[in-house]
Chain A
Amino acid sequence: MDKKIDQIIQDRSLYLCLECGKCTAVCPRRLTGKEYSPRLLAHKVIVEREDEAFIENAVWECLTCEICSEHCPSGVEFSGFILEMRELLAETKGLKGYRAHDGAIHSWMRMMTAPELKQNRLDWLTDELNTSAAGDIAYFVGCAPYFDVFFSGIEVDTLAIARDSIRLLNYLDIEPVLLPDERCCGHDLLWTGDRSNFERLQKLNYQTFKDAGIREVVVSCPECYMILSEYMPKVVPGFDLKITLLMDLIQQEVHKGGTAFKPLKRRTTFQDPCRLSRMLNRHKVPRELLTEIPDMRFTDMEHSGRSAICCGNSAFINCDAHSKQIQVQRLTEAKNTGADLLITACPKCMIHLTCAMRDRLKQKTLKLEIRDIVSILADQIKPYGG
């Protein structure tokens, strides 16, 4: 175990840590008053490894939002370190982290590793949405139908993202294949250390794509995109799928010049999902697209782009009072821009922020309409000059 930790420290450049503490100074957990310090964790894991309780706790507490690495002058890959430590601790000690919603989300993800699974995940499709039974291009729906049921109590419409993605694809004359037995991308299993089930999902999903003769998979969720484009190729030998982020596809279309947007008279701001802005370096894409929409007033929050603050939670573990405080802070920043519409690009940001808005005592000050960028684009897109 010690050797393995040494290796992780080496691989993720923790020895380069200067102990400057910038990571801790920007950590959203710390900023909301939690006794949490990435710097101290790096220090302990190098020179005080006998403090197992501290290390184990801190490894699971991290939001993996990667803002620390953004500010690290030594290029320490902190969230990579966290990811590998979680895998190690899950494997050797059976640790899972404190799972939000009692682990229901991870439960259904694990249930999807059954090879004989026959899901009914596409009941929501309507006649207005054009899909094909066979073809080269698939649209990856992800967990949206499951979130739609599980979070029905907080009235968050994650399926709208799937519907509007298909509308956008239809607008581009693409009738995507929707696979009835695609599974969860496995993001949350990976980030809670469940490597074996994560790999099972990758292999099963790849097989599902291949069996359907798919060559390209279009994805709207940044987490699914990151997993399919960066992690799946490492798990599946001979990986040869093209993975496309829907937002990139629309941007290309706008660059080509055939597409424009109808005006939208709203004051908006954007919540950067950590996977999109920092891990995938796509913070400019949503801004470029949104500023194309006439009449819309777009103002960035105090912390935005690569410096944006997390929506308070990741991989559905460790949701606590500090997560809530991060969300309240984030919504307050959004309100301070004068926006009446908060746009995001990740269903989880939407779920977490919507949850925080429902606080009975803060409802009046925090309530803000929240929609996915895909929905905004699908509503406003039109042919150039049309």
Chain B
Amino acid sequence: MKKVRLLGICCNWSPFACYNAAGMARMKMPDNFKLIRVMCIGRVNQALILRAFEYGADGVILLECNDEDCRYGPGPEVGHENVKRVRKMLHLLGIGQERLVEKSFAAHEKEELVEALWDFAERIEALGPVTEQKAMAAHV
């Protein structure tokens, strides 16, 4: 089976603390998973999520803080709104809205984060690669 390409966009605060702690504890994570760290999920807009798919991602997970934990204010809410719209765009494009996932974590939830990543990897692997991937990668 062809390996899928998984991308995580991760907030620097709670979820990255989890990710870091999970790494320190040597917890196993999917090896086809790449992470981009941003200062806040509110920094990520519709365009950036969409571009991940344009550049060939098969699944994207937004790792966010809980709504009330945001260090800046409305970050996760911005994330929810963007995910809602980009999902609709992915549906229009026939890529499938289930390829975009969002999850929020408190700073101590490393087990939950790792579990969420495995669950995400499993779901996307079940869906398989976006068929268009090859065609698009040639153009970027």
Interface, chain A (partner B; CB < 8 A): 101-104, 107-108, 110-121, 145-146, 149-150, 152-153, 196-197, 200
Q: Given A107, A120, A145, A153, which contacts B51 in the complex, CB threshold below 8 Å?
A: A107
Most chain B beta-carbon contacts within 10 A, residue among A112, A118, A149: A149
Asked if A117 and B94 sit within 8 Å, CB to CB, the answer is yes
Quote the shortest CB–CB distance from A34 to chain B (angstroms). Answer: 25
Which residues on the A side are within 8 Å of B46 (C-beta)? 101-102, 104, 150
Asked if A120 and B91 sit within 8 Å, CB to CB, the answer is yes
Asked if A111 and B132 sit within 8 Å, CB to CB, the answer is yes
Q: Given A114, A118, A121, which contacts B136 in the complex, CB threshold below 8 Å?
A: A114
Quote the shortest CB–CB distance from A19 to chain B (angstroms). Answer: 40
A–B pairs, 7, beta carbons within 8 Å = A104-B50, A108-B89, A114-B132, A120-B92, A150-B46, A152-B85, A153-B81
**B24 within 8 Å of A by Cβ?**
no
Which residues on the B side are within 8 Å of A113 (C-beta)? 135-136, 139
Interface, chain B (partner A; CB < 8 A): 45-48, 50-51, 53-54, 81, 85, 88-89, 91-95, 131-132, 135-136, 139-140
Q: Given A104, A111, A153, A200, which contacts B93 in the complex, CB threshold below 8 Å?
A: A111
CB contact under 8 A between A119 and B136, given known A107-B54, A108-B50: no
Asked if A149 and B88 sit within 8 Å, CB to CB, the answer is yes
A153 to B81, CA, bound (A): 10
A112 to B46, CA, bound (A): 17
Asked if A114 and B89 sit within 8 Å, CB to CB, the answer is no
- 6 closest A-B pairs by CB: A114-B132, A102-B47, A104-B47, A118-B94, A114-B135, A149-B88
Closest Cβ neighbor of B45 among chain A residues:
A102
Q: Given B93, B131, B140, which contacts A112 in the complex, CB threshold below 8 Å?
A: B93
CB contact under 8 A between A110 and B94, given known A101-B47, A149-B85: no
A111 to B133, CA, bound (A): 9
CB contact under 8 A between A116 and B54, given known A146-B92, A149-B88: no
Quote the shortest CB–CB distance from A317 to chain B (angstroms). Answer: 13
Q: Given B53, B92, B139, which contacts A145 in the complex, CB threshold below 8 Å?
A: B92
Q: Given A107, A112, A200, which contacts B50 in the complex, CB threshold below 8 Å?
A: A107
Which residues on the B side are within 8 Å of A107 (C-beta)? 47, 50-51, 54
Quote the shortest CB–CB distance from A355 to chain B (angstroms). Answer: 15
Which residues on the B side are within 8 Å of A116 (C-beta)? 131-132, 135
Q: Given B48, B54, B85, B139, which contacts A150 in the complex, CB threshold below 8 Å?
A: B85
Which residues on the A side are within 8 Å of B135 (C-beta)? 113-116
Quote the shortest CB–CB distance from B127 to chain A (angstroms). Answer: 14
A128 to B68, CA, bound (A): 45
Which residues on the A side are within 8 Å of B81 (C-beta)? 153
Q: Given B51, B91, B136, which contacts A103 in the complex, CB threshold below 8 Å?
A: B51
Quote the shortest CB–CB distance from B66 to chain A (angstroms). Answer: 24
Q: Given A111, A149, A152, which contacts B54 in the complex, CB threshold below 8 Å?
A: A111
A118 to B51, CA, bound (A): 18
Q: Given B48, B92, B131, B136, which contacts A110 in the complex, CB threshold below 8 Å?
A: B136
Asked if A102 and B48 sit within 8 Å, CB to CB, the answer is yes
Quote the shortest CB–CB distance from B98 to chain A (angstroms). Answer: 13
Quote the shortest CB–CB distance from B129 to chain A (angstroms). Answer: 11
Quote the shortest CB–CB distance from A274 to chain B (angstroms). Answer: 25
CB contact under 8 A between A119 and B48, given known A113-B136, A114-B132, A196-B139: no
A119 to B95, CA, bound (A): 8
Quote the shortest CB–CB distance from A345 to chain B (angstroms). Answer: 24
